[in-house]
Amino acid sequence: MLLAKPSLSAETQSARLSTTKGDNPLIWPVLSVLQASNQSWKIHHLATELQNRGLIHPLDENPGNDLFKRNFLLMNALFELQEILLPKQWLQVKAMEIQIFRLVPSNVNLLIMEDISLREYYLDWNNYDTSENVVRELLEAFWSSYKSYIGLNVNLMHKGHALRVFELDESATPRDIRKQWRRLALKWHPDRPEGDAARFREVCEAWQSLRDIA
């Protein structure tokens, strides 16, 4: 059951939870796995690969709940990544067939509409069946694992410096920051054709400093 302060409406709760979805750190390791392979992946094989990399930990004492929550986080990341990659690439998101295609199919709008109910379900954090604070704590734990995995500096970057890394100034809105975070992370991701691991780490470090205001 979703926990919330009595003064918050259901609409407000949903809006607050939705702001966390772009902060799912599984997006980037999922991209690494998919870009490094020409094969299609099954959702449970993808989960196993991320577990082997130390990026997914137990989420619930109940095995059934643990499986559901792990699946939810992965599907959330996949649908987020699908949107990020368009219009240059197409990420097919099927539980038993997950793969990035360099050519976007001509009927991509039809494919998106076919999956719209599933996409909306997994992009709504209310369906994770937990509170806003628990979602944030969960993603913080994932970010801690990912920071260690890619070797991020544990000290937060000064916000002024972080904005410069993002090619923004003090007038940048939260939306500007979130949009630029995704653009630069995708541009410099090490598994992209023109990616750069050092620049990607710098962008991730800047994001860690700017997340609270974005």
The two tokens of residue 162 are 């972080």
**Residue 185 scores a pLDDT above 90:** yes
For the segment 204-210, the average pLDDT, to the nearest whole number, is: 93
pLDDT digits (tens, 9 = 90+) for 97-154: 999 999 999 999 999 999 999 999 999 988 987 777 788 888 888 888 888 888 888 7
Question: What φ, ψ does residue 98 adopt, rounded to 5°?
Answer: -115, 120
**Residue 8 scores a pLDDT above 60:** no
Q: Which residue has the tokens 């870009």?
A: 35
**Higher pLDDT pick, 46 / 10:** 46
pTM: 0.80
- Measured in residues, the chain has a length of 214
**Higher pLDDT pick, 4 / 88:** 88
For the segment 42-69, the average pLDDT, to the nearest whole number, is: 91
11 contacts: CB under 8 Å, gap ≥ 6: none
For the segment 173-178, the average pLDDT, to the nearest whole number, is: 94
Where residue 75 falls among pLDDT bands split at 50, 70, 90?
Answer: very high
Summary mean pLDDT of the chain: 86
**Residue 1 scores a pLDDT above 50:** no
Task: Note the helical H segments in the chain.
Answer: 10-18, 27-35, 43-52, 63-85, 108-114, 116-122, 132-150, 159-165, 174-188, 197-210
Cα–Cα distance for residue pair 71/76, rounded to 1 Å:
8
